[in-house]
Amino acid sequence: MATSRDDIGVVILAGGLSRRLPGKLAMEVDGQPLLLRVCENLARGRPAVVSCHDTLPPTLRASLPCPVVRDRFGRRGPLGGILSAIEHLQNALVFVAAGDAPFADASLIDRLSALWREGDEALISVCRGQAQPLASLYDRSALRREAPALLHRSAGVRVAIAKLKHRLVDIEDERLFLDLDTPQDFGSLFGRAPMPPSTADKRSAQAREV
């Protein structure tokens, strides 16, 4: 039976340490924390899970409309975060996104899902010749099949993609794939310096997580 291309969950990765822009996921973008903006832009009624290595600031965690799960594989890169998150979803397909991509939205999910064919295990977005594995659509069962062995070898997402029956999809809108890695990135996109998270958000108090 063909996989339903409409049965899609969303995985948002909020994992890696941000040494160049600390606390970026809680920084305000258009009146709301960056991570909340990403969640709302992408989910649009679809089930979503945020995967993170570290505890999120309590006020940020409380603002999110979806569950937050701990990356149970530690710091093994995005693949560990993906595998941790998909265990909390039941959808046939999952769209994987970075938590610091302020312009990613559900239109990209819709476009990829419309192109999904029986037998596909991944549709990988490509922009200006660059693959965007953290803005792509995957078969959840296929990821569960391949990812554990790859994690054992400390392999990454691109190695996992090579194991999947995948196709490349050219996407022209570069803004969909922009992320915020530095204060300069923030300034060039929003015309101002980033506003740091509040002192309360910097405290190490544990947020309630799945």
Q: How many CA atoms lie within 13 A of 107 on its CB side?
A: 8
Reported as a single tens digit per residue, the pLDDT across 72-128 is 887 778 999 999 999 999 999 999 999 999 999 999 999 999 999 999 999 999 999
Reported as a single tens digit per residue, the pLDDT across 10-44 is 999 997 656 667 788 988 888 899 999 999 999 99
Q: What pLDDT sits at residue 117?
A: 95
195 confidence band (pLDDT: 50, 70, 90): low
For residue 201, being part of any structural domain is answered with no
- The residues, ordered by sequence, that sit 6+ positions from 28 with a Cβ below 8 Å of its Cβ are 34, 195
Structural domain count of the chain: 1
From residue 116, give the alpha-carbon distance in Å to each of 129, 173, 178, 190, 206: 21, 20, 24, 34, 40
Q: pTM of the prediction? A: 0.87
Q: What pLDDT sits at residue 24?
A: 87
From residue 117, give the alpha-carbon distance in Å to each of 27, 65, 90, 170, 195: 38, 31, 20, 16, 43
For residue 39, being part of any structural domain is answered with yes
For residue 198, being part of any structural domain is answered with no
Q: What pLDDT sits at residue 198?
A: 54
**Residue 145's domain is classified under what CATH number?**
3.90.550.10
CA distance 203 to 56: 10
CA distance 47 to 42: 10
154 confidence band (pLDDT: 50, 70, 90): confident
Domain, as residue range, for 122:
8-188
For residue 115, being part of any structural domain is answered with yes
188 confidence band (pLDDT: 50, 70, 90): confident
For residue 35, being part of any structural domain is answered with yes
